[in-house]
Amino acid sequence: MTTTHAWPHLFHEGAADTPVLLLLHGTGGTEHDLLPLAERLAPGAGYLAPRGPVREHGMNRWFRRFGEGVFDVDDVVLRAGELAAFIGWAREHYALGDRRLIAVGFSNGANIALATALLHPGMVADAVAFSGMYPLEGRSIDTDLSGSSIALFNGSADAMAPLDSAVRVGSILESRGAEVRRNVREGGHGIHPTEVDGAAAWITSLTRKVTHD
């Protein structure tokens, strides 16, 4: 189990009137991987970028798996809880107050973002998932997600995150009350420049909506 205060991570406060982006790297990545995305997604925003706590053949991951696309769901649940606890610690430690936190994950990072959004919406209510899929196979979801907003970005020919699984996670999120934006492009696994533009526009609309409300 990862101790929250000892979890390797990077933090940048950003402007007080901006959201904080929770940057969650993919398999084999580090806390530095998604930093170039932060300014493109939300100029001036803060960021919190932890490192995945699980090791697979020397690579950083967010949870264990039995094989490609076959997740250890018990470990997914455990690690989502740990990430939620880390977010709670970071909010207090960095005096984030009520600043909006938006998870931004790629691949394995998208999957842990979705798992945490599904299981702990009080900690992750908003998320951008690039090349993600449903991470909680065989588990029933009974959380109230009526305050959650999730943007899914997937490739139609992604062998690592099959589109049917991405469609399923969107449907489950919606069934629990979340507002879901689905975005499907041609191609496979990765983050396409058009998706970055789409995610930036979505984040802008999300933060403006709160301001106007």
Catalytic residue list: 107, 158, 189
User: How many Å apart are CA 164 and CA 62, to the nearest integer?
Assistant: 22
User: How many angstroms separate the CA atoms of 97 and 168, rounded?
Assistant: 34
Among residues 58, 61, 51, the alpha carbon closest in space to that of 31 is found at 51
Q: Which long-range contacts (CB under 8 A, 24 or more apart) does 85-88 make?
A: 85/4, 86/2, 86/4, 86/7, 86/9, 86/50, 87/22, 87/48, 87/123, 87/124, 88/4, 88/123
